[in-house]
Amino acid sequence: MLAALAIAGAMSINGAHLYGQDSSKPASDQSKTTEPTADQAKNNTVDRDMMKKIRKAVVEDKSLSTYAHNVKIIAQDGKVTLKGPVRSDDEKRSVEQKAEQVAGSGNVVSQITVEPPKSKTGSR
């Protein structure tokens, strides 16, 4: 019985994280987010096709890192938001250019961050 209560309590605490909610903030604060998230991407054909074309162009570029290949691409009503880390300014520009080639100039918002690889030397 005690184990069942412990499991139920853990599920209720961690369950919010399963659905993308931050249990440290009141629910009213979470609903006020203005930045697009992947789950807010429109399910219309134009936006889906746009995301698919951008993803294909990014993934086909083998000069890009795995980080760049995994940038989030969110399309809403013809506008594209790019999110996530890449390894260099060149990668950032490359992903942004690929998105602009598909979505058009002025239709891409970049929230890409540059996070160079950490050095493996020096911290021994």
| CATH (domain of 44) | 3.30.1340
Domain identity same for 59 and 71: yes
Parallel, antiparallel or unpaired: strands 72-76 and 108-114:
unpaired
25 — pLDDT class (breaks 50, 70, 90): very low
Give a yes or no: residue 52 inside a domain. Answer: yes
pLDDT of residue 118: 84
pLDDT of residue 33: 53
Residue 65, SS3?
coil
Domain identity same for 3 and 48: no
Q: Is the pLDDT of residue 34 over 50?
A: yes
Give a yes or no: residue 120 inside a domain. Answer: no
The total domain count for the chain is: 2
Give a yes or no: residue 64 inside a domain. Answer: yes
Domain identity same for 24 and 13: yes
- The pLDDT tens digits for 47-71 are 999 999 999 999 999 999 999 999 9
Percent of the chain at pLDDT exceeding 70: 63
Q: Is the pLDDT of residue 46 over 50?
A: yes
Domain identity same for 21 and 47: no
Give a yes or no: residue 121 inside a domain. Answer: no
Domain identity same for 29 and 45: no
Q: Which two tokens stand for residue 87?
A: 């390894």
Residue 24, SS3?
coil
39 — pLDDT class (breaks 50, 70, 90): low
Domain identity same for 24 and 39: no
Q: Which two tokens stand for residue 98?
A: 């690929």
Residue 123 CA to residue 16 CA, distance in Å, equals 37
Residue 100 CB-density burial (10 A; 0-12 exposed, 13-18 middle, 19+ buried):
middle
Residue 16 domain boundaries = 1-33
Domain identity same for 42 and 63: yes
- The pLDDT tens digits for 72-101 are 999 999 999 999 999 999 999 999 999 999
Report which of 43, 58, 36 is spatially closest to residue 102, judged by C-alpha positions.
58
Query: Residue 38: which H helix or E strand, with range?
Result: none
Prediction pTM value: 0.65
